[in-house]
Amino acid sequence: MVDMSRDEILARYRHLRAISTRHHTEALRFLSRPALLEQARQLGLTAGEMLVAESMDEFTLVVDLAIHTSRPGRSRAIDRYAGAARLRPGSEEALVLEAMRRARFSVWRVERRHEVAGLVVQDLLRQGEAWLVDEAMERSAPAGMAAATRLCTPETFAMTSGVIVPVDREALEEVFDEVLPRVRGSPDRVADDRRFATAIYRTAVARGLMERIGFEEIPPPAR
């Protein structure tokens, strides 16, 4: 995409984003009430057999976990949808869906504006960089902002695939204190483990992080 203009890149992004949104909507049909309640319970958002999210943002956290994660031995809703969708191999719809299935969850810090469109973000666990095209984040996300989200890469650039959860240093320390004794292995394995995303979302609910307007800058890791 090196020779594409900003307008061409944004047009491509909007096209792929529309496909991604349709896939997410269709994947909702593969969620069961027990699966939603199980995820809501993990986030402290249930009372008995009722889901008690106080906002759409909190409910979206539940849906994100139910679509993109599952217990060992169980299938994910996004995979069940993919198996039933019967998309034409090689089509853009199939390309985007496969990218969504391979989306990487992590904590990403905004490094700088990309020279053409979007942002350059750093994976704070894996230490790699990604070119992220997201119009809302490009307009409002300052350098140093950190957020937990899934990035999928259906093109040379990445897109968000799911919710965006702002995090600060204290929240991350709390999450790592909870997760690291339970999830052993490389940073990549920690980031991929469903318990990591669950812990971040639970902390976000408890601390009211979804209601924040500003974000704390997180300094670069020591070299």
- Say if 13 falls within a structural domain: yes
d(CA 15, CA 154): 11
**Domain carrying residue 107:** 6-211
Q: How many domains does the chain have?
A: 1
- Say if 127 falls within a structural domain: yes
- Say if 143 falls within a structural domain: yes
pLDDT band at 3 (very low <50, low <70, confident <90, very high): confident
For residue 124, what pLDDT is reported?
96
d(CA 167, CA 69): 20
Q: What is the mean pLDDT of residues 59-80?
A: 94
d(CA 3, CA 11): 14
d(CA 204, CA 151): 19
For residue 2, what pLDDT is reported?
66
Cα–Cα nearest to 124, from 222, 209, 20: 222
Q: With pLDDT > 90 as the criterion, what percentage of the chain qualifies?
A: 81
Residue 217 has pLDDT above 50, yes or no: no
- Say if 100 falls within a structural domain: yes
Classified as helix, coil or strand, 130 is: strand
Residue 51 has pLDDT above 90, yes or no: no
Neighbours of 109 (CB within 10 A): 23
Q: What is the mean pLDDT of residues 166-191?
A: 94
Mean pLDDT (the chain) is 91
- Say if 163 falls within a structural domain: yes
pLDDT band at 215 (very low <50, low <70, confident <90, very high): very low
